[in-house]
Each structure stands twice: as structure tokens, then as C-alpha cells.
Amino acid sequence: MKKYVKVLAVIFAFALVACVFAACGEKADGDNVIVFGTNAEFPPFESVASDGVIKSADGTQSFDGIDMVIANKIAEKMGKTAVVNNIEFDSLLVALQNGQIDACIAGMTITEERKESVDFSIPYYTATQVMIVKEGSDIKSAKDMAGKKIAVVQGYTGETVVKDLGYEYEAFKKGTECVMELVNGKCDVVVIDSATAENYVADNQGLTIVEDSSAFEAEEYGIAVAKGNTELLNQINEAIGDMLDDGTISATVVKYVDEAE
């Protein structure tokens, strides 16, 4: 009888240890975590913040913005925790392809070229390129950029658009660098996405925005996943659909755009 109890106790102990290990294993391999890649240089969609709504995987950095709120809500709907991997914009699609991130949310315009390497969700925001100039500039439309010094961010759709218009330009790593060039009189115009432009104009005296809908087409932002990851894509699409229907996305946009003004 005693022996029987001992054997039972040993079996029970092993089972307990096995359960604990299984539970740990689940967390360690990230079953409950979804890793969003972004490039946190794009307010009001994403920027590094001291007290943001979402953290890096190691918990040392935090991020805020419209995309970060959306990423959190998607994770929540999936019963997961969202973490952010902040990497260079140009590296995001490769990071998806090699599994370094699960999804990319970065104010990223859905383009035919990008669709060749990744799959995009349904659109969640419509933007357009605009020109940031100094107040009093003689640039009133896109064609006035002829012969001017143009700054764009490397790899952004703004670069493609300026290239397609046939103008020479200088490409910088960050939007803030372009804006500093403009403020310091080293360039005449910055071409970048509308909401981000508004943000820079609000933060820097003496700048203004010039729109030209005949030169700049509407662009739609989507969340990207690795090609063929339909399971995740379907979950993301469902979450975006819900948030478009119930007004979560428009309310978030209003919140972050108003904060910037």
C-alpha cells in the first residue's frame, strides 16, 4: 500500500513538472505573442514614445500612434499580446519574409510592387502625397518642383512618385531629416504622406502644405503578412473590418491627429 502511494506521488510529481514545462514552452515559443514590425519614424501612425501603448519584445522601448492602437486591438481580438519590432522601413518586407516579424504595420501603402513579395490586408486608411514648403514658397503645384531641390525619404512611396514625375531628388533616411533640410534652407520641398506632413508642419514654424491631387493619387495603407499566411491575414482582415465598422479606426485617427494640432 505504502509503495503504491509512493509510486502515485512520483507519477503526480512528474506530471506536475511536465505541465509547468509545457506552459512555459508555450510562452517561450511565442504562441501568445504577435510581433508587429514597424518603423517608428512616422507620426501620427508610429513613433517612439516614453509612455506608448505598445512595447518592444524586451520591454525596453515603447511606441505610440494610430497603427500602434490598431495593432493592440488586433492582438486583443486574437487573444494575444502585441509587441513591436522597430526596424528600418526598407527592411520590413524582408523581415516578414524571413519570419522575424509576424505582420507589418507601418503606414505602408499597398502597391503592386510590394504585393509581389508580401500579402496585404484590406485597406484601413487613405492618404496621399503632399509637398511641404516654406511659407511664401513659389511652389503651388507639383510641376513647380521642376528645377527645385526636392527631399524624400528613401523607400517611401514619396520617392517613387517624385521619380515617376521625372524630377531629381535627394533621399534621406528619416522624415525628420528631410524637414530639417527644409527648415535650414538646404532644400525647397519635401514630398511625404499627408498626415505625417501635417504633423511636421504643426511641429515646425514657417512651414506649410501644398496639395496637388492631379499629380498625387490616393494611397491606401494596409497591414502586410508573409506571402501565403492566409490564416493570420484572415484574422487581421476580420479585425480591421470590425474596427472600420464600429468606428474604432476613425476615432483613433481623430484622437491622434487632434493631439498633433
CA pair distance 193, 127, nearest whole angstrom: 7
Give backbone dihedrals phi and psi of 64, rounded to 5 degrees, phi first. -140, 165
- Nearest approach in angstroms of CB 45 to ligand ARG is 6
DSSP character at residue 108: P
Place of cell 470590425: 242
Whose Cβ is closer to ligand ARG: residue 86's or residue 242's? Answer: 86
> Which is closer to ligand ARG, CB of 192 or CB of 207?
192
Residue closer to ligand ARG by CB (options 40, 182) is: 40
Task: In whole angstroms, give the CA distance from residue 174 to residue 177.
Answer: 5
> How many residues touch ligand ARG (CB under 6 A)?
13
Residue 38 binding ligand ARG, by CB under 6 A: yes
What is the rounded distance in angstroms from the CA atom of residue 158 to the CA atom of residue 178? 12
Paired strand residues for 47: 41, 64
Contacting ligand ARG within 82-141 (CB under 6 A): 89, 106-109
> What is the maximum span of the chain, computed from C-alpha positions, in angstroms?
97
Nearer to ligand ARG, 121 or 157 (CB): 157
User: What is the distance between the alpha carbons of residues 27 and 23, in angstroms, rounded to a whole number?
Assistant: 7
Q: Cβ of residue 174: shortest distance to ligand ARG, in angstroms?
A: 8
| Nearest-approach distance from CB 41 to ligand ARG, in angstroms | 5
Q: Measured from the CB atom, is 46 or 119 closer to ligand ARG? A: 46
DSSP 188-225: SEEEEEHHHHHHHHHHSTTEEEE--TTTS-EEEE--EE
Letters for 149-178 (x = contact with ligand ARG by CB under 6 A, - = none) are -------xx---------------------
Which residue type sits at 213?
S
Residue selected from 36, 39, 96, 142 as contacting ligand ARG according to rule CB under 6 A: 39
Residues at the site binding ligand ARG, with contacts judged by CB under 6 A = 38-39, 41-42, 46, 89, 106-109, 156-157, 193
